[in-house]
Amino acid sequence: MSAAVSPLMPTYGRLPIALTHGQGCRVWDNEGREYLDALAGIAVNTLGHAHPKLVPALQDQVAKLIHTSNYYQAPLQEQLAAKLVELSGLTNVFFCNSGLEANEGALKIARKFGHQRGFDTPETLVFEGAFHGRSLATLSATANPKIHEGFAPLVPGFVRAPLNDLPAVERLLDDHPQVSAIFLETIQGEGGINPARIEFLQGLRRVCDERNLLLMLDEVQCGIGRTGKWFAHQWADIQPDVMPLAKGLGSGVPVGAIVCGPRAAGVLTAGNHGTTFGGNPLAMRAGIETLSIMETDGLCAHAAAMGERLKTALAAGLAGVAGVREIRGHGLMLGIELDRPCGALLQRGLEARLLFSVTAERVVRLLPPLIVTAAEVDDIAARLIPLIQTFCAEAQS
């Protein structure tokens, strides 16, 4: 169908393939072509496609109960919340449907926490390179001017700091005494796979404790085992006060969550926040089964090992390629930064039957399902390396 007659709004630049089904890390399009999936629907399909344990669990749930509303007791929410509390060491959970919703809720917590501290115009400290979503508040927290364009006036109350610069954060906090929360992605995803350094995270934790602020870590993309630990901040051996989650939590079924520790868990009270769909039985079952399969199959350790393998293969294959600036990230959240825009690689990826994305214009982003096998990792590297080599050589000449 040509774009001109599509009944969809023209919000996406879509690649010219239509996927119809998948199995593990493979997907097929409507012309029967097979692709290797190194994107997992942007870190969503934790268990790949058509997982043999997830599919029957979801079928069972669909046949029992899909939705009821939050008017009633929610035992499946309790069950998934208990698991998230156990894995994170935090205390309470609110369920919603997406990443921006989880972040929007976190920003409401930050505002109300500020008012409880007596601030009349509480502010939230956010970072350069950040992406937090597309609602008015979360796009205002996002750094990318392209995402702001056309949507002024932005939501006020954000102060922006450079990432990984603790003295700059402390100076801004001194200048902005009504900041009530520090909000960042533990590893920036859309911004180009930029990790917050371990010492920076530990420094932010200390600063938040000294000044009674909320440390809010957006783990929508980097959470749920992707970096090789349940949550990316666990590499820094710290705990946030608020942790929004979404993407990988339901393995493809939309689930968002705001996981809170003691400083934040009691801030929102009856009547402060709510959602119709959030926490419905189908979504909860998807989350419960995803975490349970991940645990039984040791997928965090597996993601760490497969991520190491992929990074090593890419580093070897791309060593000395002029135009490759850096390979970075943790576990199965990897970025290859080139010295120039590389969106053109996506089409060539399709020709090589490999799905990945390009973010921040010049970063090739890999987010394969956590079930990816060693052979598939080698295959991803074998398909991607020549694409990048050729692209860089052409652009060079």
Ligand X SMILES: *Cc1c(COP(=O)(O)O)cnc(C)c1O
Among 9-17, 125-133, 208-216, 369-377, which window interacts with ligand X (CB under 6 A)?
Answer: 125-133
User: Catalytic site residue 229?
Assistant: no
User: Catalytic site residue 247?
Assistant: yes
Which of 299, 355, 306 has the alpha carbon at shortest distance from 329? Answer: 306
221 known ligand binder: yes
Sheet strands side by side (includes 256-260): 92-96, 256-260, 242-245, 214-218, 179-185, 123-127, 158-161
- Rounded CA-CA distance 101/339 in Å is 34
**Residue 247 CB, nearest approach to ligand X (Å):** 6
**Residue 190 CB, nearest approach to ligand X (Å):** 6
The site map against ligand X for 161-200 (x = CB under 6 A) is ------------------------x---xx----------
**Residue 200 CB, nearest approach to ligand X (Å):** 17
User: Catalytic site residue 165?
Assistant: no
11 known ligand binder: no
Considering 131, 158, 183, 277, which one is annotated as catalytic?
131
Residue 388 is a binding residue for ligand X (CB under 6 A): no
CA distances from 172 to 148, 167, 184, 202 (A): 22, 9, 15, 18
Among 98-106, 114-122, 298-306, 352-360, which window interacts with ligand X (CB under 6 A)?
Answer: 98-106
**Residue 317 CB, nearest approach to ligand X (Å):** 27
Residue of 218, 241, 337, 376 interacting with ligand X (CB under 6 A): 218
Structure-token match 């989880």, residue found: 102
Q: Please answer whether residues 87 and 294 qualify as being in contact, where contact means their C-beta atoms are separated by less than 8 angstroms.
A: no
- Rounded CA-CA distance 225/231 in Å is 6
- Rounded CA-CA distance 286/161 in Å is 37
Q: Rank residues 142 and 180 by Cβ distance to ligand X and give the closer one.
A: 142
How many residues lie near ligand X (CB under 6 A)? 15
Residue 103 is a binding residue for ligand X (CB under 6 A): yes
- Rounded CA-CA distance 37/52 in Å is 18
Considering 113, 218, 229, 231, which one is annotated as catalytic?
218
CA distances from 45 to 172, 225, 236 (A): 38, 12, 26
Residue of 24, 99, 122, 195 interacting with ligand X (CB under 6 A): 99
Residue of 36, 54, 100, 243 interacting with ligand X (CB under 6 A): 100
**Residue 22 CB, nearest approach to ligand X (Å):** 20
Residue 220 is a binding residue for ligand X (CB under 6 A): yes
Residue 131 is a binding residue for ligand X (CB under 6 A): yes
**Residue 161 CB, nearest approach to ligand X (Å):** 17
Question: Could you tell me where the DSSP H helices lie in the chain?
Answer: 40-43, 54-64, 75-88, 99-116, 136-141, 145-148, 166-175, 198-211, 262-265, 281-296, 299-318, 345-351, 374-396
The site map against ligand X for 247-286 (x = CB under 6 A) is x---------------------------------------
220 known ligand binder: yes
138 known ligand binder: no
Q: How many CA atoms lie within 13 A of 152 on its CB side?
A: 3
119 known ligand binder: no
Kind of pairing, strands 354-355 and 179-185?
unpaired
The site map against ligand X for 333-352 (x = CB under 6 A) is --------------------
CA distances from 342 to 62, 156, 337, 390 (A): 42, 34, 9, 12
**Residue 352 CB, nearest approach to ligand X (Å):** 25
Residue 230 is a binding residue for ligand X (CB under 6 A): no
Residue 174 neighbours by CB under 8 Å, 6+ apart: none
Angle between helices 281-296 and 54-64 (to 10 degrees): 160
Q: How many CA atoms lie within 13 A of 299 on its CB side?
A: 26
Per DSSP, the residues of 253-267 read S--EEEEE-HHHHTT
Q: Please answer whether residues 201 and 238 qualify as being in contact, where contact means their C-beta atoms are separated by less than 8 angstroms.
A: yes
Annotated binding-site residue numbers for N(2)-acetyl-L-ornithine: 134, 275
Active site residues: 131, 218, 247
Residues found near ligand X in the complex (CB under 6 A): 98-100, 103, 131-133, 185, 189-190, 218, 220-221, 246-247
Annotated binding-site residue numbers for pyridoxal 5'-phosphate: 131, 218-221, 276
